[in-house]
Amino acid sequence: MEKDKYLKVKRFLDIVLSLSGLIVLAPVFLVLIAAIKADSPGAAMFTQRRIGMGGREFLILKFRTMRQEAPNYTPTHMLENPERHITRVGRFLRKTSLDELPQLINILKGDMAVVGPRPVMWNETELIEARQRCGANDVPPGITGWAQVNGRDQLTLEEKVRLDGYYVRHLGFWMDVKCLARTVIPVLTGKGVVEGKAVFNKIQRTGTKNKKNLRKN
């Protein structure tokens, strides 16, 4: 199926999946909202400026996992001392990726898709430009994606871009199914999550441990 035609099919499937998810998971939303508000002061959800399809900015929704005084536009893998900012409930939400659930609303609105390259922050200029060159900005960003299931935060910038480019080149129904199937283990185990600037910088210098697997992509 041609890319443009599949994107229309993909959008229909995204509407069905996000609407169904919001209905089925409504009780989970209520429980998490109550837990977040009981754990620390502040709103249960927050927004961030992210870059979507075609370089368009949008506000991504997330459950709040950090204290109110934490920097809003610094990724946690770039914080000097992330443990100081992350709440008790937030630690659980981040490990299980439950903090991403509100993005079902972004999907329903058309800002995102279920599967696609993860949307980057508006101030990650180097990554935005690199993704533009590989075509990653030509498809809707997703809750999960090929880079997410192949290393997540443990990837260097170069590796993330290469995996995003691989996804775009192989865009199709079965590619999305493959991404979803491979999302389960990282979500359940928290595999690939990196918190803290020191660890992240080490990864950028030495590269991921999965270079052998990445070469196949």
Give the span between the Cα atoms of 179 and 206, in whole angstroms: 26
Span between the terminal Cα atoms of the chain, in Å: 21
Contact yes or no for 118/127 (Cβ under 8 A): no
Residue range 115-162, pLDDT digits in tens: 999 999 888 888 888 888 999 999 999 999 999 888 877 788 889 899
Query: Predicted confidence band at 190 (pLDDT cuts at 50, 70, 90)?
Result: low
> In a 3-state reduction of DSSP, which class is residue 45?
strand
Res. 212: pLDDT tops 50: no
Query: Predicted confidence band at 25 (pLDDT cuts at 50, 70, 90)?
Result: very high
Give the span between the Cα atoms of 85 and 81, in whole angstroms: 8
pTM of the predicted model as reported, rounded to 2 decimal places: 0.82
Residue range 38-89, pLDDT digits in tens: 999 999 999 999 999 999 999 999 999 988 777 665 666 566 666 778 899 9
Q: What are the backbone dihedrals phi and psi of residue 202, each rounded to the nearest 5 degrees, phi first?
A: -65, -40
Query: Predicted confidence band at 176 (pLDDT cuts at 50, 70, 90)?
Result: very high
16: its two tokens: 């069905």
Contact yes or no for 102/62 (Cβ under 8 A): yes
Res. 18: pLDDT tops 70: yes
Altogether, the residues listed in the chain come to a count of 217
- The DSSP secondary structure of 95-150, one letter per residue, reads HHTGGGTTHHHHHHHTS-EEESSPPPBTT-HHHHHHHHHHTGGGS--EEE-TTGGG
